[in-house]
Amino acid sequence: MKHILLALGFILTALSAQAQRGWEAGGWAGVSYYFGDLNTNYDLSMPNMSGGAMARFNFNDRLAVRLAGNYGRLAADDANASNAFERARNLSFRSDVFDLSTAIEFNFLPYNHGSEDEFFTPYVFAGFSVFSFNPEAELDGEWYDLRPLGTEGQFPGEEYYTVQAGLNYGIGIKVDLSYYWSLNFELSARHLFTDYLDDVSTVYPDQGDLRQQRGDIAVELSDRSIVLPEVDNSQIGLPGTQRGNSSNNDSFVFLKAGIFYYFGQLRCPQP
């Protein structure tokens, strides 16, 4: 209880300060990376373009709240894996992600636009995100949406939802160019509440049942394994054998460079 009261006291004290109060907004561009069942070794060889816009309200020179809309393409391919089993599994995907996030931001240093001494600061942030995604895979030169195919044996109508939530958090640094303009460089991560960003999570289904329910394309995209001499392929593709790892949800990150405009302190007219 003592710690809660101290934290509330700190927040109320910080919010009561008026320095640097006001809005700023801008846009950013960068790259996006996916981590999950098809990228367990955190391979960074498949960056994709990303971008977005953000508005930030500064309560003072330390605390702010932010709202952002982000887009990124995510992709991975087992062919790049260091693990032989994953290379033999031979799955791949891509997905466009649209993300709406909000977070509380804390500056490590006092930050005031236009100040000669307080013109930059590293910062951290944490909050909540809602995002949409749609994993696809290529077969014979054609791209297919994976969710409707039930590649892990989901019954029709019981597929995973393509609108999900997650936690967003990260670190960054902001630097003034002038009183109004500033640059922000940021690493923004998402810890997701789903393991199906890549359409891979649990086990292989019975191929006969899958063919009957979803068709031949579903079977081909469910099990794309190839023969490798260093892997026992008899353990890949059988009903109930491992296809993914459902104990760890997927994640992704944005690496951002953005420019922001500060609208100045907004004050009520004096009587």
pTM of the model: 0.87
Domain boundaries, the chain: 27-262
pLDDT at 213 over 80: yes
| Residues across the chain | 271
d(CA 147, CA 105): 35
pLDDT for position 19: 55
Q: What is the mean pLDDT of the chain?
A: 91
Coil, helix or strand for 79? helix
* pLDDT at position 53 over 90: yes
CATH 3.40.190.10 for domain 27-262, yes or no, is no
Q: Count Cβ atoms below 10 Å from residue 49 Cβ, excluding itself.
A: 11
Token readout for 181 is 């303009």
Q: What per-residue confidence (pLDDT) applies to 232?
A: 82
Give residues with Cβ within 8 angstroms of 6, minimum separation 6: none
User: Per residue in 214-225, pLDDT tens?
Assistant: 999 999 999 999
pLDDT of residue 72: 98
pLDDT value for 1: 45
271 has a pLDDT exceeding 80 = no
- What's residue 62's pLDDT? 94
Does residue 92 surpass a pLDDT of 50?
A: yes
Whether residue 125 is predicted with pLDDT greater than 70 in this model: the reply is yes
Q: Is the pLDDT of residue 258 over 70?
A: yes
